[in-house]
Structure formats: C-alpha cells, structure tokens
A and B are shown apart, each in its own frame.
Chain A
C-alpha cells in the first residue's frame, strides 16, 4: 500500500546533538512537507519541497535543515541551534497541483 513512513516513532537525544528524522513516501508525490506540533500550538510549517533538489523555508525553519536528493525522501535534521527541539514532527506529501495531502504517523522527539 502507498503511504508515508516516518521513523522512528519515538526518538531521544541529548541536548546539543544533531538528529535526523526520516520521511519516505511511495506515492510518487512531487511535494513534501515538514510540520512541527507543540501542545496547544497546532501544526507549524518548518520546510517544504515541491521538486527534487529544491526546498523552501517555512514559518519556523531556524535550527532545522533538510535535503531532497530523491523524490521519495525528505529527511529533516534538527540541529543544536534549535533551542527547543522537543516536539512532535509530522511529514506530509502531495501531488503537484493537487490539494490531496497525505500525512505520516509522526516522530516524537524528546531532547534531554
């Protein structure tokens, strides 16, 4: 079945370490997105990519980096510059020119 896979589901890291969250889709979607969710804050856009080798900053990109070397993969790196990285991270994808978004099941990152 087609879908988005985010791994791992839970991730623990020490403060000051970079960590990379995986997002893979087999839907052949061109566009991919990363959202961050904090309690009571809704979902906020971190980065998005509409085509391979191209991506744009969202509303809260500081302290994060992404790459889009393959159509099916859009990994997110949470760097040590991110001051409060503990959150729930959701990845999504959509076909070009479509409003059909598919979301992954999320990764809960805890920094201790």
Chain B
C-alpha cells in the first residue's frame, strides 16, 4: 500500500519569505510518480509538477523548486520569495505504475502582506 505524509498542517509566512513544504512517501514499488498540486480557495486542483522515481534531479521553475531524495523518501517543495497569491492548500501525491493517485492530507499555506 502507498502512503503520503504531509506533516505540516498549516504554515504562515510573511510575503517575500521562503517556505518549504515537506512530503514523505511510502511505497514498495521501484517505479512510481510523485506530484504536487495547488488548491486555491476556488477549489480546483492546479498541477504543479510530476516526477518519476528514476529522475532524482532537482527542478526549478521560477520561484518554485523541488527536492527529490529517494534515500529519505522525500519530495519537498520550496517557494522562494513567497507572494500573497501563493496562499492555497498544497497537496503531494503518489502514483504507482499507472494506478490511482494517493494524496497527502495537504498543507495550508497562508502568505500575509
């Protein structure tokens, strides 16, 4: 069985601070995919990134960066110079093979001006 743990329930920061959202996953499979989604107050899920288990390269996209470490089963997400528009719930998710997504419970990020 797969499991995703997002230990941080809620994080509050002031605009322009850097913030890291933690994600730890569990799976016995060697082939899997990891995802991050953003859920703004409107409710829809916005896809941010997908990474497969064979690609441990870190990735940077603008103010977003992701740190994938198989040794610690972690896939952490960092927002640099946070903005008010980054306020949302962020979900980490895991998919094994081509099966369904298993989500963490989410981290609510509040960025105040």
Contacts and interface: CB of A to CB of B under 8 A. Distances in A.
Interface residues of A, number: 24
Interface residues of B, number: 23
Interface in B54-113: 91, 93, 95, 98, 100-106
B50 A99 contact: yes
B33 A99 contact: yes
B47 A106 contact: no
Contact of A103 (B45, B95, B98): B45
A41 B105 contact: yes
B30 interface: no
Interface of B: 6, 9, 33, 35, 37, 42-45, 47, 50, 52, 91, 93, 95, 98, 100-106
List the 8 closest A-B pairs by CB distance, nearest first.
A42-B105, A103-B45, A43-B103, A42-B103, A105-B44, A106-B43, A99-B33, A42-B106
